[in-house]
Amino acid sequence: MRCFIGIPVTDALADQCVTLSHSMGRATPIANLHLTLAFLGEQTQSALSQLHGPLTALAGENPPFQQLLNRCEPFPREQGPFMALTGAACPALKQLHHDLWLCLQGYGFSPEERPFRPHITLAKPGPTQTPFKAIGDWVLPVNTLMLYRSELGEPFPSYEPLAQFPLMAGD
């Protein structure tokens, strides 16, 4: 099964995302909104089971924090093909992303070669691309890592949460 680790979006932020994405073409289904930290690709249940202990430990060593997202722009390039809510990674998110990949590398996973750019995919726009738009500071509370299963489909894949790992240090 295809899997990834991400940060779930709160209901309040999801509502904001849906409102923003209505004029952009095919809006991402509200249940699919998340911020991806690591693509794991095709995995067996056995391989995923090995990650539960290490991911629980990693999450337990990190306190909850907030990530600001303040732009709506084409992603991953100026030409798209998606529109995404983006923002510069805060220090806590950079550290969590780094620590997550250190953990995953111990189990044979290799990080992506492209740089990490935090984003929430909002839509697949129609023929006219919406330009960059400043939106103010929207807050993504980061208090859980989620292991997701991804099933390809049209116009969007579907994502199923498989396990969650609460951030807890400092509680």
Say how far residue 147 (Cα) sits from the centre of its chain.
11
Q: Which whole number is the average pLDDT over 1-27?
A: 89
In a domain, 171, yes or no: no
State the pLDDT at residue 60. 96
pLDDT tens-place string over residues 72-124: 888 877 766 788 999 999 999 999 999 999 999 999 999 888 899 999 998 88
In a domain, 22, yes or no: yes
Is residue 69 within 8 Å of residue 86, measured between CB atoms? yes
121 vs 134, residue with greater confidence:
121
Is residue 5 within 8 Å of residue 37, measured between CB atoms? yes
In a domain, 153, yes or no: yes
Does the pLDDT at position 171 exceed 60? no
In a domain, 66, yes or no: yes
CATH at residue 95: 3.90.1140.10
- pTM equals 0.90
Residue 131 binned pLDDT confidence (cut-offs 50, 70, 90): low
Is residue 161 within 8 Å of residue 151, measured between CB atoms? no
Q: How far apart, in Å, are the Cα atoms of 91 and each of 11, 49, 96, 157? A: 24, 29, 9, 30
Distance CA 163, CA 45 (A): 12
Range of the domain at 141: 2-166
pLDDT tens-place string over residues 137-154: 899 999 999 999 998 877
Q: Which whole number is the average pLDDT over 46-74?
A: 94
Q: Which whole number is the average pLDDT over 4-26?
A: 89
* Domain count for the chain: 1
